[in-house]
Chains A and B, each alone.
Chain A
């Protein structure tokens, strides 16, 4: 066994160290002009230590353990690997990243960083920029060798194109993935993030933003089995009339795992629609956080915005926080949100047992069923089976 000697820093020192190496690792040469502007504006001030002082940042990170900052991370870029799913192989077609000097809609709509993480991640030493012109599937699979691997990726989906993007991370260490996409008029993007964090030395931080033009649709499917640390931030702007976003998250948080979802959907135009459907099954000593925001601009009339988050705890030592936030400035809006946290319903368990199903199996079935509410919405049957099997295998009865 290889043992990693970790130098212990304080949280503040760790944040300062991480800030410094993220800044230093940035290769100005390869940054597209547009991003360079964003970075140069924001990144000078970006300082992760602000999480501990800035009131609004503190609020966002209140429930998220940041102990990993104590480690003296080194930057080591991702290794590109083939996707871990054989069913993706059939489709594999080389989609070539576009040259950095080419402007794309995704680069133009790249949002100004809102947090120091975003500002720093933007300058990651590895960049990928794609334009998906027709109905295409892009699978991105990266392996982290155990250190800090930051990556920035932009994806432009052309008008009318119907595309899929798969993001698969493996290995250990701290993976910081900054993804921004732009979906053109009447285009559609399905983003799949099947994510298994195998142990406590795995840290995944997804920073995803997206901009949707008129009648564009985005569907996201974030399926997580977490024994490690994960934060999934998704911020979408429904910028064109009739744009729609459907966000799905199913997380099975195992012992000592941490899953943190921070979602923000901004309705900026009329007749837009969004739905956030999230479920977390949290086992003993696991921890789940859900912050779901809906923002409706005063011009975004006739908007439908829905949000549902449920957390099911399998033991008293599991923890779940939910924080729905609505900021609605238009009056003709249909908006519902529901958040529940609790334990298994005794009625359901009794019903199964009264039919002869042993208690352990009955619980397993009900835990799995809880996440099935999201998994059955996944359009890929192969991914559905992957998720169901993973969950079944990991449920601790």
Chain B
């Protein structure tokens, strides 16, 4: 589904990613772990087409298409979804208005008619219940005044609505208390299908207890330095990055 080959990227002339290779197949869950500043969010930004990042080498294919040539909205239509590490507040745009626009843009890209209001509302209510979000949350402005936990749940809620093929979660677990983490993990597990893949970016082993990864990668200084199965995350938890890498 996703193939990243020898990806090099820089920000403001500074080289951040230094040859990332990664292959993700449908149905898989990959965890990318690494210390602060390793380049995890940079990778997510490049996969979703954020401005300001320069790819200097390498390529990224998504279902055979050259992802780097596509606009952010086209990538979304193709099925890529990023749960942001820091979702931005958008005062004046209600959650309903936002999701209606997003969903209808997806439908239009598929050649479908826009949803009518009743269909939209029943979909939104169903998914909000899955994330245990209060009903009034739909009429509030996007992320405005949301607590840390609400913000992260709102991201997963959006994912549930847009039904993507590849989900990238950038530190969705950070700042969540254990109850919120369980809600998020349950929702993600409920959305695991043989057609859908997940890339979980995280610092901590904790979330991986609830969402079992098939593959764990360690990203340090712009490169994947080790990959392994779920036991690698446990080993990392016990030894820490430095020891783990020096032993490699």
Contacts and interface: CB of A to CB of B under 8 A. Distances in A.
Interface of A: 345-348, 350-359, 361-362, 365-366, 368-373, 376
Given A352-B98, A353-B71, A355-B98, A368 B92 contact: yes
A370 B162 CA distance: 26
Contacts of B84: 351, 354
B76 A353 contact: yes
Nearest to A370: B92
23 contacts: A347-B88, A348-B90, A351-B88, A352-B90, A353-B71, A353-B76, A354-B50, A354-B75, A354-B76, A355-B98, A355-B102, A355-B158, A355-B162, A356-B76, A356-B106, A357-B98, A357-B105, A362-B73, A365-B93, A368-B92, A369-B90, A369-B141, A370-B92
Contact of B90 (A346, A351, A361): A351
B113 interface: no
Interface string B72-103: 11011100001010011011110001100110
B97 A365 contact: yes
B71 A359 contact: yes
B123 interface: no
B51 interface: yes
A354 B48 contact: yes
Contacts, number: 77
A372 B67 CA distance: 35
Contacts of B245: none
Nearest to B143: A351
Nearest to B74: A356
Contacts of B142: 351
Contacts of B52: 346
Q: Is the interface of A mostly helix, strand, loop or mixed?
A: helix
Nearest to A372: B92
A4 B55 CA distance: 59
Contacts of A351: 84, 87-88, 90, 142
A369 B140 CA distance: 13
A354 B142 CA distance: 14
Contacts of B121: none
A352 B162 CA distance: 13
A143 B97 CA distance: 37
A260 B71 CA distance: 38
Interface centre among B48, B101, B142, B158 (most CB of A within 10 A): B101
A338 to B, nearest CB: 14
B93 A355 contact: no
Given A354-B84, A357-B105, A372-B91, 20 more contacts: A345-B88, A351-B84, A351-B88, A352-B101, A353-B76, A354-B72, A355-B76, A355-B158, A356-B76, A356-B102, A356-B109, A356-B162, A357-B98, A359-B73, A361-B105, A365-B98, A365-B101, A369-B91, A369-B141, A371-B92
Contact of A350 (B72, B77, B91, B158): B72
State which size class the interface on B falls in: 20 to 34
Contacts of A347: 88
A357 B158 CA distance: 13
A318 B38 CA distance: 40
Nearest to A369: B92
A373 B91 CA distance: 7
B76 A376 contact: no
Contacts of B106: 356
Contact of A357 (B73, B87, B91, B141): B73
A314 to B, nearest CB: 16
Pairs A-B, 8 closest by C-beta atoms: A369-B92, A356-B76, A372-B92, A353-B72, A355-B102, A369-B93, A356-B105, A347-B88
A247 to B, nearest CB: 19
A365 B101 CA distance: 9
Given A346-B51, A361-B101, A365-B97, A353 B73 contact: yes
Nearest to A346: B51
A347 B158 CA distance: 17
A252 B48 CA distance: 32
Contacts of A356: 73, 76-77, 102, 105-106, 109, 162
B119 to A, nearest CB: 18
Nearest to B87: A351
Contacts of B92: 368-373, 376
Nearest to B105: A356
B101 A348 contact: no
B90 A366 contact: yes
B91 A358 contact: no
A334 B230 CA distance: 57
B14 to A, nearest CB: 19
Nearest to B72: A353
Contacts of A371: 92
Nearest to A373: B92
Contacts of A359: 71, 73
A355 B88 CA distance: 13
A15 B93 CA distance: 45
Nearest to A367: B92
